[in-house]
Amino acid sequence: MVNVAILGFGVVGGGTARLITDNREEIERLTGDTVNIKYILDLRDFPDSPFADRIVHDFNIILEDPEVDTVIEVMGGSHPAYEFTVASLKKGKNVITSNKEVVANFGDEFLAAAAASGVSYRFEAAVGGGIPVISPIISSVRHNKITEVRGILNGTTNYILTKMFSLGESFEDSLCDAQERGYAERNPDADILGTDAARKIDILAALVTGKLVPTDKIHTEGITNIRKADVLAAERLGMKIKLLGRCIIEGEKVYVIVAPFMLPFDSALFGVSGVYNAV
């Protein structure tokens, strides 16, 4: 049996707990082992939750329990996610995360700590809406020379741009629709200003080059300046505008950028619509 602890019981943490529980038999069939949620860390109590008996408020309970094999960090933000991750890895616990901010800021340190302790640090869910892109990149780096990684890395902005192109809506109306549907936060800046995509392309670039670029050094443009006139101009050329993260490798130089690009119809990313990501 594998005992796990989930750090955070918000939307992602709650979904993770349900996913593990609802798919218990399938997980056992695929892995040959059972997964047991032993603890869920949160500041709040959830008396009506089926996981109420697993809720704890003190991280040290998890850290000092030798039966906890794996920590699933879905708290978001850099702190205390950083401190909890480092402590877990040094205690010999595997860590899985969907937290792109902490991966982009401290991923190289976490990987080194995991290697030193002989455990795993997995962060595939932090990039591309959980599409399985990290493992193929790691495999490709071993056997091939990668010269560029590009992708649609933010579902919110892709949804907004899709609405602007398919229905001719304004940026403001498309953003409001995304917020009403729950695709965009009430404060959507991390999405529409390109910050979220910058963190993700930084992680992918690090996998290819072995180095994390400080996110404040990445040229980052969002989609807030795209207007109907831009959409019409792109359509006249048979093109679409997509917010892309790109990492270009030329010899010893690495260029990382997030910005809106015009894509021709034969681009592999041209037809990626709605909230979908693609790399």
Q: 141-157 pLDDT, tens per residue?
A: 666 788 999 999 999 99
> For the chain, which residues make up each domain, given as ranges?
2-126, 143-264
Q: 104-162 pLDDT, tens per residue?
A: 889 889 999 999 999 999 887 777 666 666 667 666 666 678 899 999 999 999 999 99
Distance between CA atoms of residues 199 and 101, nearest Å: 6
Which H or E element spans position 107?
helix 100-117
Q: 211-227 pLDDT, tens per residue?
A: 778 888 999 999 999 99
Residues whose CB is less than 8 angstroms from the CB of residue 246 and which lie 6 or more positions away in sequence, other chains included: 148, 149, 150, 201, 255, 256, 257, 258, 261
pLDDT of residue 146: 86
Distance between CA atoms of residues 61 and 16, nearest Å: 20
pTM score: 0.75
Residue with tokens 């050094």: 217
What CATH number labels 2-126? 3.40.50.720
CA 31, 36, 39 angle in degrees (round to 5)?
140
Task: Say if domain 143-264 classifies as CATH 3.40.640.10.
Answer: no
Percent of the chain residues past pLDDT 70, beyond the cut: 94
> 257 with 246: CB under 8 angstroms?
yes
3-state secondary structure 89-106: HHCCCEEEECCHHHHHHH
> 245 with 279: CB under 8 angstroms?
no
Distance between start and end Cα atoms, the chain: 35
Q: Which residues are catalytic?
A: 200
- Give me the chain's average pLDDT, please: 92
Query: In terms of DSSP bridges, do strands 239-250 and 148-151 run parallel, antiparallel, or are they unpaired?
Result: antiparallel
Q: Do domains 2-126 and 143-264 have the same CATH topology?
A: no
List the 148-151 sheet strands across, edge first.
148-151, 239-250, 253-264, 219-220
Omega before residue 80 within 30° of 0, cis: yes
96 — pLDDT class (breaks 50, 70, 90)? very high
